[in-house]
Protein backbone atom coordinates (compact mmCIF):
# COMPACT_ATOMS: atom_id res chain seq x y z
CA UNK A 1 0.00 0.00 0.00
CA UNK A 2 1.26 3.47 -0.86
CA UNK A 3 -0.25 6.90 -0.29
CA UNK A 4 -1.93 6.87 -3.71
CA UNK A 5 -3.60 3.49 -3.06
CA UNK A 6 -4.74 4.69 0.34
CA UNK A 7 -6.12 7.98 -1.00
CA UNK A 8 -7.95 6.15 -3.77
CA UNK A 9 -9.57 3.72 -1.29
CA UNK A 10 -10.44 6.57 1.05
CA UNK A 11 -12.11 8.50 -1.78
CA UNK A 12 -14.05 5.42 -2.91
CA UNK A 13 -16.14 5.67 0.26
CA UNK A 14 -17.69 8.94 -0.89
CA UNK A 15 -20.07 9.84 -3.73
CA UNK A 16 -18.48 10.33 -7.12
CA UNK A 17 -18.94 14.08 -6.86
CA UNK A 18 -17.22 14.36 -3.48
CA UNK A 19 -14.55 11.78 -4.41
CA UNK A 20 -13.35 13.98 -7.27
CA UNK A 21 -12.39 16.69 -4.78
CA UNK A 22 -10.31 14.35 -2.59
CA UNK A 23 -6.51 14.33 -2.68
CA UNK A 24 -3.67 13.60 -0.27
CA UNK A 25 -3.88 17.00 1.40
CA UNK A 26 -7.65 17.00 1.80
CA UNK A 27 -8.75 17.87 5.34
CA UNK A 28 -11.21 15.02 5.51
CA UNK A 29 -13.34 16.32 8.38
CA UNK A 30 -14.19 19.36 6.25
CA UNK A 31 -15.68 17.20 3.48
CA UNK A 32 -19.39 17.81 2.97
CA UNK A 33 -20.25 14.11 3.35
CA UNK A 34 -18.04 13.55 6.43
CA UNK A 35 -19.89 12.26 9.50
CA UNK A 36 -19.48 9.52 12.11
CA UNK A 37 -21.07 6.96 9.79
CA UNK A 38 -18.52 7.75 7.09
CA UNK A 39 -15.74 7.19 9.64
CA UNK A 40 -17.02 3.63 10.22
CA UNK A 41 -17.23 3.02 6.47
CA UNK A 42 -13.63 4.18 6.02
CA UNK A 43 -12.31 2.00 8.88
CA UNK A 44 -14.09 -1.00 7.37
CA UNK A 45 -12.96 -0.27 3.79
CA UNK A 46 -9.29 0.25 4.74
CA UNK A 47 -9.32 -2.84 6.95
CA UNK A 48 -10.76 -4.99 4.16
CA UNK A 49 -8.42 -3.60 1.47
CA UNK A 50 -5.13 -3.49 3.38
CA UNK A 51 -5.72 -5.55 6.54
CA UNK A 52 -4.77 -2.51 8.61
CA UNK A 53 -7.08 -0.94 11.18
CA UNK A 54 -7.49 2.80 11.50
CA UNK A 55 -8.32 3.58 15.10
CA UNK A 56 -10.64 6.17 16.58
CA UNK A 57 -7.49 7.96 17.82
CA UNK A 58 -5.97 7.95 14.31
CA UNK A 59 -9.07 9.65 12.94
CA UNK A 60 -9.29 12.15 15.79
CA UNK A 61 -5.58 13.06 15.70
CA UNK A 62 -5.29 13.48 11.92
CA UNK A 63 -6.18 16.46 9.78
CA UNK A 64 -5.32 15.36 6.25
CA UNK A 65 -5.40 12.05 4.41
CA UNK A 66 -1.58 12.06 4.44
CA UNK A 67 -1.66 12.34 8.25
CA UNK A 68 -3.93 9.30 8.41
CA UNK A 69 -1.74 7.31 6.05
CA UNK A 70 1.37 8.11 8.10
CA UNK A 71 -0.27 7.03 11.35
CA UNK A 72 -1.55 3.84 9.74
CA UNK A 73 1.80 2.86 8.26
CA UNK A 74 3.56 3.38 11.61
CA UNK A 75 1.51 0.45 13.05
CA UNK B 1 -7.19 -17.97 27.40
CA UNK B 2 -10.42 -19.22 29.06
CA UNK B 3 -11.46 -21.77 26.46
CA UNK B 4 -13.37 -24.72 27.86
CA UNK B 5 -15.94 -27.41 27.17
CA UNK B 6 -19.05 -28.19 29.18
CA UNK B 7 -20.27 -31.75 28.65
CA UNK B 8 -23.69 -33.35 29.02
CA UNK B 9 -25.88 -30.24 28.78
CA UNK B 10 -28.12 -29.31 25.87
CA UNK B 11 -30.24 -26.34 24.84
CA UNK B 12 -33.85 -27.58 24.89
CA UNK B 13 -35.63 -24.47 23.77
CA UNK B 14 -35.44 -20.73 23.10
CA UNK B 15 -38.18 -18.09 23.15
CA UNK B 16 -37.89 -14.34 22.65
CA UNK B 17 -40.23 -11.42 23.14
CA UNK B 18 -40.42 -7.79 22.09
CA UNK B 19 -42.73 -4.89 22.96
CA UNK B 20 -45.58 -4.21 20.52
CA UNK B 21 -44.57 -0.57 19.97
CA UNK B 22 -42.51 -0.07 16.80
CA UNK B 23 -40.39 3.01 16.04
CA UNK B 24 -39.22 3.65 12.47
CA UNK B 25 -35.80 5.24 12.00
CA UNK B 26 -37.23 6.97 8.94
CA UNK B 27 -39.18 9.11 11.42
CA UNK B 28 -36.12 9.94 13.55
CA UNK B 29 -34.44 13.31 13.17
CA UNK B 30 -30.84 12.58 12.19
CA UNK B 31 -30.23 16.18 11.10
CA UNK B 32 -30.09 15.50 7.38
CA UNK B 33 -31.96 13.10 5.09
CA UNK B 34 -28.71 11.79 3.60
CA UNK B 35 -27.33 10.94 7.05
CA UNK B 36 -30.55 9.09 7.87
CA UNK B 37 -30.44 7.02 4.70
CA UNK B 38 -26.72 6.30 5.16
CA UNK B 39 -27.43 5.13 8.72
CA UNK B 40 -30.23 2.75 7.70
CA UNK B 41 -28.14 1.33 4.85
CA UNK B 42 -24.83 1.07 6.73
CA UNK B 43 -25.89 0.19 10.26
CA UNK B 44 -28.77 -1.85 8.91
CA UNK B 45 -31.42 -0.80 11.44
CA UNK B 46 -34.82 0.40 10.26
CA UNK B 47 -37.26 -0.55 13.03
CA UNK B 48 -36.93 -0.60 16.80
CA UNK B 49 -39.17 -2.05 19.52
CA UNK B 50 -39.73 0.26 22.46
CA UNK B 51 -41.17 -0.76 25.83
CA UNK B 52 -43.76 1.44 27.50
CA UNK B 53 -42.72 3.18 30.71
CA UNK B 54 -42.97 0.64 33.53
CA UNK B 55 -42.46 -2.37 31.28
CA UNK B 56 -39.06 -3.85 32.01
CA UNK B 57 -36.70 -6.50 30.69
CA UNK B 58 -37.99 -8.89 33.35
CA UNK B 59 -41.56 -8.52 32.00
CA UNK B 60 -40.37 -9.43 28.50
CA UNK B 61 -38.29 -12.35 29.80
CA UNK B 62 -41.19 -13.68 31.91
CA UNK B 63 -43.50 -13.66 28.88
CA UNK B 64 -40.88 -15.59 26.90
CA UNK B 65 -40.28 -18.03 29.78
CA UNK B 66 -43.97 -18.79 30.31
CA UNK B 67 -44.49 -19.49 26.62
CA UNK B 68 -41.36 -21.61 26.42
CA UNK B 69 -42.21 -23.76 29.45
CA UNK B 70 -45.72 -24.29 28.08
CA UNK B 71 -44.37 -25.34 24.68
CA UNK B 72 -41.65 -27.71 25.90
CA UNK B 73 -43.83 -29.17 28.66
CA UNK B 74 -41.56 -28.46 31.61
CA UNK B 75 -42.85 -28.68 35.18
CA UNK B 76 -41.91 -25.54 37.11
CA UNK B 77 -40.75 -27.69 40.04
CA UNK B 78 -37.98 -29.13 37.83
CA UNK B 79 -36.21 -25.77 37.50
CA UNK B 80 -33.32 -25.52 39.94
CA UNK B 81 -31.36 -22.68 38.31
CA UNK B 82 -32.73 -19.28 37.25
CA UNK B 83 -30.28 -16.73 35.88
CA UNK B 84 -31.34 -13.23 34.77
CA UNK B 85 -28.78 -11.34 32.69
CA UNK B 86 -29.51 -7.67 32.10
CA UNK B 87 -28.20 -4.16 32.51
CA UNK B 88 -31.71 -2.86 33.03
CA UNK B 89 -32.90 -4.54 36.25
CA UNK B 90 -36.24 -3.72 37.87
CA UNK B 91 -34.62 -2.11 40.94
CA UNK B 92 -31.17 -1.21 42.27
CA UNK B 93 -32.04 -3.49 45.22
CA UNK B 94 -33.17 -6.27 45.25
CA UNK B 95 -31.84 -8.29 42.32
CA UNK B 96 -34.48 -9.04 39.71
CA UNK B 97 -34.16 -12.84 39.54
CA UNK B 98 -35.88 -13.21 42.91
CA UNK B 99 -38.88 -11.25 41.60
CA UNK B 100 -38.93 -13.41 38.48
CA UNK B 101 -38.69 -16.62 40.55
CA UNK B 102 -41.91 -15.64 42.29
CA UNK B 103 -43.72 -14.42 39.16
CA UNK B 104 -42.87 -17.67 37.35
CA UNK B 105 -44.17 -19.67 40.33
CA UNK B 106 -40.90 -21.56 40.65
CA UNK B 107 -40.32 -23.48 43.88
CA UNK B 108 -38.01 -22.35 46.69
CA UNK B 109 -35.63 -25.15 45.67
CA UNK B 110 -34.26 -22.96 42.91
CA UNK B 111 -31.12 -20.83 42.93
CA UNK B 112 -31.76 -17.43 41.36
CA UNK B 113 -29.38 -14.56 40.68
CA UNK B 114 -28.67 -11.65 38.34
CA UNK B 115 -25.61 -11.02 36.21
CA UNK B 116 -24.81 -7.53 34.93
CA UNK B 117 -23.62 -8.07 31.38
CA UNK B 118 -24.66 -6.58 28.05
CA UNK B 119 -24.03 -7.73 24.52
CA UNK B 120 -21.80 -10.66 25.54
CA UNK B 121 -24.36 -11.73 28.15
CA UNK B 122 -26.06 -14.51 26.22
CA UNK B 123 -22.83 -16.43 25.59
CA UNK B 124 -21.60 -15.89 29.16
CA UNK B 125 -25.02 -16.89 30.49
CA UNK B 126 -25.07 -20.15 28.57
CA UNK B 127 -21.66 -21.07 29.98
CA UNK B 128 -22.69 -20.30 33.57
CA UNK B 129 -26.08 -22.03 33.34
CA UNK B 130 -24.53 -25.09 31.71
CA UNK B 131 -21.66 -25.26 34.23
CA UNK B 132 -24.02 -25.10 37.21
CA UNK B 133 -26.41 -27.59 35.69
CA UNK B 134 -23.52 -29.95 35.10
CA UNK B 135 -22.70 -29.74 38.82
CA UNK B 136 -26.20 -30.68 39.96
CA UNK B 137 -27.35 -34.27 40.17
CA UNK B 138 -30.74 -33.39 38.68
CA UNK B 139 -32.79 -30.41 37.58
CA UNK B 140 -33.16 -27.95 34.75
CA UNK B 141 -32.00 -24.39 34.11
CA UNK B 142 -33.71 -21.31 32.80
CA UNK B 143 -31.53 -18.55 31.39
CA UNK B 144 -33.36 -15.23 30.98
CA UNK B 145 -31.52 -12.56 29.03
CA UNK B 146 -32.89 -9.18 28.04
CA UNK B 147 -32.69 -5.42 28.17
CA UNK B 148 -34.93 -2.40 27.85
CA UNK B 149 -32.13 -0.05 26.86
CA UNK B 150 -34.63 2.53 25.61
CA UNK B 151 -35.34 3.48 29.24
CA UNK B 152 -31.71 4.67 29.62
CA UNK B 153 -31.33 6.59 26.38
CA UNK B 154 -31.76 10.25 25.52
CA UNK B 155 -34.06 10.44 22.52
CA UNK B 156 -32.10 13.55 21.47
CA UNK B 157 -28.89 11.56 21.09
CA UNK B 158 -28.51 10.35 17.51
CA UNK B 159 -25.42 8.32 18.43
CA UNK B 160 -27.52 5.82 20.44
CA UNK B 161 -31.29 6.32 19.93
CA UNK B 162 -31.52 4.86 16.40
CA UNK B 163 -29.48 1.81 17.46
CA UNK B 164 -31.15 0.35 20.51
CA UNK B 165 -34.30 -1.69 20.82
CA UNK B 166 -35.92 -3.63 23.67
CA UNK B 167 -36.28 -7.41 23.96
CA UNK B 168 -36.26 -10.34 26.33
CA UNK B 169 -35.53 -14.04 25.97
CA UNK B 170 -35.72 -17.36 27.74
CA UNK B 171 -33.47 -20.34 27.07
CA UNK B 172 -34.11 -23.78 28.56
CA UNK B 173 -31.14 -26.03 29.35
CA UNK B 174 -31.15 -29.59 30.59
CA UNK B 175 -28.79 -32.50 31.03
CA UNK B 176 -28.12 -34.81 28.11
CA UNK B 177 -25.33 -37.37 27.89
CA UNK B 178 -22.97 -36.94 24.98
CA UNK B 179 -23.64 -33.25 24.28
CA UNK B 180 -20.82 -30.71 24.50
CA UNK B 181 -20.78 -26.92 24.40
CA UNK B 182 -17.50 -25.03 23.97
CA UNK B 183 -16.74 -21.48 25.04
CA UNK B 184 -14.08 -18.78 24.76
CA UNK B 185 -14.80 -15.83 27.08
CA UNK B 186 -12.70 -12.65 27.32
CA UNK B 187 -12.66 -9.19 28.95
CA UNK B 188 -10.81 -5.86 28.61
CA UNK B 189 -11.75 -3.37 31.32
CA UNK B 190 -9.24 -0.83 30.02
CA UNK B 191 -12.01 0.58 27.83
CA UNK B 192 -14.80 0.27 30.41
CA UNK B 193 -16.13 3.73 29.60
CA UNK B 194 -16.64 3.18 25.87
CA UNK B 195 -20.26 2.30 26.72
CA UNK B 196 -21.38 3.76 30.03
CA UNK B 197 -24.10 5.39 32.08
CA UNK B 198 -22.04 7.80 34.19
CA UNK B 199 -24.42 8.53 37.07
CA UNK B 200 -26.63 6.44 39.28
CA UNK B 201 -24.10 3.94 40.60
CA UNK B 202 -22.02 4.26 43.73
CA UNK B 203 -18.99 5.89 41.99
CA UNK B 204 -21.09 8.80 40.83
CA UNK B 205 -24.40 8.71 42.71
CA UNK B 206 -27.54 10.21 41.26
CA UNK B 207 -27.97 13.93 41.97
CA UNK B 208 -30.01 16.76 40.48
CA UNK B 209 -27.05 17.43 38.15
CA UNK B 210 -27.50 13.92 36.72
CA UNK B 211 -30.58 15.22 34.89
CA UNK B 212 -28.93 18.19 33.21
CA UNK B 213 -28.92 17.87 29.42
CA UNK B 214 -25.69 18.81 27.68
CA UNK B 215 -24.96 19.19 23.97
CA UNK B 216 -21.96 16.95 23.31
CA UNK B 217 -22.07 17.85 19.62
CA UNK B 218 -24.91 18.76 17.23
CA UNK B 219 -27.58 16.05 17.43
CA UNK B 220 -26.02 14.46 20.52
CA UNK B 221 -27.72 15.78 23.65
CA UNK B 222 -27.81 13.75 26.83
CA UNK B 223 -27.62 13.81 30.62
CA UNK B 224 -25.34 11.80 32.90
CA UNK B 225 -28.12 9.28 33.58
CA UNK B 226 -28.27 8.41 29.87
CA UNK B 227 -26.20 5.80 28.09
CA UNK B 228 -23.27 7.03 26.00
CA UNK B 229 -21.46 4.97 23.39
CA UNK B 230 -18.20 5.64 21.56
CA UNK B 231 -19.09 3.99 18.26
CA UNK B 232 -15.64 4.31 16.68
CA UNK B 233 -13.86 2.70 19.61
CA UNK B 234 -16.38 -0.15 19.74
CA UNK B 235 -15.92 -0.67 16.00
CA UNK B 236 -12.14 -0.88 16.48
CA UNK B 237 -12.55 -3.25 19.42
CA UNK B 238 -14.78 -5.61 17.48
CA UNK B 239 -12.47 -5.77 14.45
CA UNK B 240 -9.43 -6.24 16.71
CA UNK B 241 -10.74 -8.90 19.09
CA UNK B 242 -13.62 -10.92 17.68
CA UNK B 243 -11.99 -12.78 14.76
CA UNK B 244 -9.15 -14.01 17.00
CA UNK B 245 -11.55 -15.09 19.74
CA UNK B 246 -13.66 -17.12 17.31
CA UNK B 247 -10.65 -18.61 15.50
CA UNK B 248 -9.12 -19.74 18.81
CA UNK B 249 -12.39 -21.39 19.83
CA UNK B 250 -12.65 -23.17 16.48
CA UNK B 251 -9.05 -24.39 16.77
CA UNK B 252 -9.70 -25.64 20.32
CA UNK B 253 -12.86 -27.42 19.17
CA UNK B 254 -11.13 -28.82 16.06
CA UNK B 255 -13.84 -27.34 13.85
CA UNK B 256 -13.08 -25.83 10.46
CA UNK B 257 -14.87 -22.58 9.76
CA UNK B 258 -16.59 -24.26 6.79
CA UNK B 259 -18.23 -26.72 9.21
CA UNK B 260 -20.20 -23.96 10.94
CA UNK B 261 -23.78 -24.36 9.75
CA UNK B 262 -25.07 -21.07 11.14
CA UNK B 263 -23.34 -18.23 12.98
CA UNK B 264 -25.40 -15.99 15.23
CA UNK B 265 -23.54 -12.80 16.08
CA UNK B 266 -24.63 -10.07 18.45
CA UNK B 267 -26.63 -7.66 16.28
CA UNK B 268 -24.51 -4.54 16.70
CA UNK B 269 -24.15 -2.88 13.36
CA UNK B 270 -24.37 -4.37 9.86
CA UNK B 271 -21.09 -2.84 8.67
CA UNK B 272 -19.21 -4.04 11.78
CA UNK B 273 -20.72 -7.51 11.69
CA UNK B 274 -20.04 -7.90 7.98
CA UNK B 275 -16.40 -6.84 8.51
CA UNK B 276 -16.07 -9.54 11.20
CA UNK B 277 -17.80 -12.13 9.01
CA UNK B 278 -15.44 -11.41 6.10
CA UNK B 279 -12.37 -11.64 8.36
CA UNK B 280 -13.59 -15.03 9.59
CA UNK B 281 -14.35 -16.13 6.00
CA UNK B 282 -17.85 -17.34 6.89
CA UNK B 283 -20.25 -17.44 3.94
CA UNK B 284 -22.89 -14.71 4.02
CA UNK B 285 -25.74 -17.23 3.78
CA UNK B 286 -24.70 -18.71 7.14
CA UNK B 287 -24.93 -15.43 9.03
CA UNK B 288 -28.52 -14.27 9.62
CA UNK B 289 -29.47 -10.77 10.73
CA UNK B 290 -32.41 -9.36 12.63
CA UNK B 291 -31.05 -5.81 12.73
CA UNK B 292 -33.42 -4.32 10.17
CA UNK B 293 -36.57 -5.42 12.00
CA UNK B 294 -35.43 -5.43 15.63
CA UNK B 295 -32.31 -3.21 15.96
CA UNK B 296 -29.61 -3.76 18.55
CA UNK B 297 -31.40 -5.52 21.41
CA UNK B 298 -28.25 -5.71 23.56
CA UNK B 299 -27.98 -9.00 25.46
CA UNK B 300 -31.10 -10.43 23.76
CA UNK B 301 -29.91 -9.96 20.19
CA UNK B 302 -28.56 -13.51 19.73
CA UNK B 303 -31.73 -15.32 20.91
CA UNK B 304 -33.91 -12.82 18.99
CA UNK B 305 -31.98 -13.63 15.82
CA UNK B 306 -32.16 -17.37 16.50
CA UNK B 307 -35.94 -17.22 16.95
CA UNK B 308 -36.37 -14.97 13.92
CA UNK B 309 -34.32 -17.29 11.71
CA UNK B 310 -35.11 -20.79 12.98
CA UNK B 311 -38.64 -20.83 14.43
CA UNK B 312 -40.18 -22.20 11.25
CA UNK B 313 -37.35 -24.53 10.22
CA UNK B 314 -37.96 -28.24 10.54
CA UNK B 315 -34.24 -29.03 10.49
CA UNK B 316 -32.14 -26.93 12.80
CA UNK B 317 -28.36 -26.57 12.67
CA UNK B 318 -26.12 -28.84 14.73
CA UNK B 319 -22.89 -26.88 14.59
CA UNK B 320 -23.77 -23.35 15.59
CA UNK B 321 -21.44 -20.46 16.40
CA UNK B 322 -22.74 -17.90 18.90
CA UNK B 323 -20.75 -14.69 19.42
CA UNK B 324 -21.48 -11.70 21.64
CA UNK B 325 -19.40 -8.57 22.20
CA UNK B 326 -19.77 -5.11 23.69
CA UNK B 327 -20.00 -3.22 26.97
CA UNK B 328 -17.27 -3.93 29.49
CA UNK B 329 -15.55 -4.49 27.18
CA UNK B 330 -16.60 -8.12 27.21
CA UNK B 331 -16.78 -10.70 24.48
CA UNK B 332 -17.22 -14.40 24.01
CA UNK B 333 -18.07 -17.10 21.55
CA UNK B 334 -19.59 -20.55 21.85
CA UNK B 335 -20.17 -23.65 19.79
CA UNK B 336 -23.55 -25.21 20.53
CA UNK B 337 -26.02 -27.66 19.01
CA UNK B 338 -29.52 -26.38 18.25
CA UNK B 339 -30.67 -29.43 16.29
CA UNK B 340 -33.00 -30.70 19.02
CA UNK B 341 -34.03 -27.32 20.46
CA UNK B 342 -37.59 -26.03 20.29
CA UNK B 343 -37.33 -22.54 18.78
CA UNK B 344 -40.45 -20.40 19.15
CA UNK B 345 -41.57 -17.49 16.98
CA UNK B 346 -40.89 -14.05 18.49
CA UNK B 347 -43.67 -13.09 20.91
CA UNK B 348 -45.12 -9.56 21.06
CA UNK B 349 -45.88 -8.32 24.57
Residue A75 has pLDDT above 80, yes or no: no
- The answer to whether residue B296 is catalytic is yes
Q: Is the per-residue pLDDT at A21 higher than 80?
A: yes
Say what the pLDDT of residue A8 is: 92
Number of Cβ within a 10 Å radius of residue B209: 11
pLDDT band at A1 (very low <50, low <70, confident <90, very high): confident
Whether B35 sits inside 8 A of A37 (CB atoms) is yes
Residue A51 Cα, gap to closest chain B Cα (Å): 9
Alpha carbons B304 and B167: distance in angstroms, whole number: 8
Looking at CA atoms only, how far is residue B258 from chain A in angstroms?
A: 20
The CA distance from A65 to the nearest CA of chain B, in Å, is 18
CB contact under 8 A, B236 and A59: no
User: Can B5 be counted among the known catalytic residues?
Assistant: no
Q: Which of A40, A48, A55 sits opposite B42 (nearest CB)?
A: A40
Min Cα–Cα distance to chain B from A23, Å:
23
What are the residues whose beta carbons fall under 8 Å from the beta carbon of B149, sequence distance 6 or more?
A: B87, B88, B164, B165, B166, B227, B296, B297, B298
Probe site for chain B from A33, A44, A45, A54 (most B CB atoms < 10 A): A44
DSSP state of B208: G
Q: What three-state secondary structure class fits B111?
A: strand
Q: Please give the CATH number for the structural domain made up of B1-349.
A: 3.40.47.10
The Cα angle at residue B17 between residues B16 and B22, in degrees rounded to 5: 135
Q: Rounded to an integer, what distance in angstroms lies between the CA atom of residue B296 and that of residue B164?
A: 5
Domains of chain A plus CATH, in order, are 3-73 (1.10.1200)
**Mutation site, A36, A42, A62, interface B, largest B CB count within 10 A:** A36
pLDDT (tens, 9 = 90+) of chain B, 349 residues, equals 789 999 999 999 999 999 999 999 999 998 888 889 999 999 999 999 999 999 999 999 999 999 999 999 999 999 999 999 999 999 999 999 999 999 999 999 999 999 999 999 999 999 999 999 999 999 999 999 999 999 999 999 999 999 999 999 999 999 999 999 999 999 999 999 999 999 999 999 999 999 999 999 889 999 999 999 999 999 999 999 999 999 999 999 999 999 999 999 999 999 999 999 999 999 999 999 999 999 999 999 999 999 999 999 999 999 999 999 999 999 999 999 999 999 999 999 9
Contact A43 B34 (CB under 8 A): no
Question: Residue B266 catalytic?
Answer: yes
pLDDT at residue A56 above 90?
Answer: no
**Per-position DSSP letters for B297-349, written without gaps between them:** -GGGHHHHHHHHHHTT-SS--SSEEEEEEETTTEEEEEEE--TT-EEPPPEE-
The whole-number pLDDT of residue A3 equals 92
- Candidates B35, B232, B275; nearest CB to A47: B275
Contact criterion met (CB < 8 Å) for A37 and B272: no
Rounded-to-integer distance, Cα B91 and Cα B98, Å:
11
B61, B110, B184, B266: the active-site residue: B266
B232 Cβ contact partners less than 8 Å away, ≥ 6 residues apart: A36, A39, A40, A43, A55, A56, A59
Distance from CA of A44 to the nearest CA of B (A): 6
Cis peptide before B329 (omega within 30 of 0): yes
Closest CA to B147 of B320, B329, B303, B29: B303
Mutate which of B274, B275, B279 to disrupt the A interface (most A C-beta within 10 Å)?
B275
- Answer for the pair B313, B342: CB distance below 8 angstroms, yes or no: no
List chain B domain ranges. Answer: 1-349
Please give the Cα distance from B175 to B9 (Å, whole number): 4
Asked if residue B271 lies in contact with residue A45, where contact means CB atoms within 8 angstroms, the answer is no
Average pLDDT, chain A: 90
pTM listed for this prediction? 0.94
- Is the Cβ–Cβ distance between A72 and A52 less than 8 Å? yes
φ and ψ at residue B174, rounded to 5 degrees? -145, 170
Nearest residue of chain A to residue B158 (CA atoms): A36
Residue B94, preceding bond cis, omega within 30 degrees? yes
Residue of chain A minimizing CA distance to B43: A37
Predicted local distance difference test score (pLDDT) of residue B1: 73
Closest residue to A53, CB basis, from B35, B159, B240:
B240
User: Closest chain A residue to B277 measured between Cα atoms?
Assistant: A48
In 3D space, the residue among B47, B54, B85, B17 whose CA is nearest the CA of residue B151 turns out to be B54
What number of helices (H) and strands (E) belong to chain A? 5, 0
Amino acid sequence: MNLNDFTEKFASCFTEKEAKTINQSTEFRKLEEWNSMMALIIISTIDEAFNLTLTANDLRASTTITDLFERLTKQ
Amino acid sequence: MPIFNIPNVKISGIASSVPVKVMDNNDYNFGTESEKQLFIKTVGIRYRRIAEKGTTASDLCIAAANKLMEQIGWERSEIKILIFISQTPDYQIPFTASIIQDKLSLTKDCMAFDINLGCSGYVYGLSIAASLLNSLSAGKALLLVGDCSSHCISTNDKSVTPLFSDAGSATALEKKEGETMSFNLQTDGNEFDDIIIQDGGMKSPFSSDSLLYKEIEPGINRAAINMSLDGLKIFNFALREIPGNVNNLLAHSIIDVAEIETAFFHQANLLMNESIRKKLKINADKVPYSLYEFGNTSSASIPITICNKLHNKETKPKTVLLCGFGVGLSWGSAIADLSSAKILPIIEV
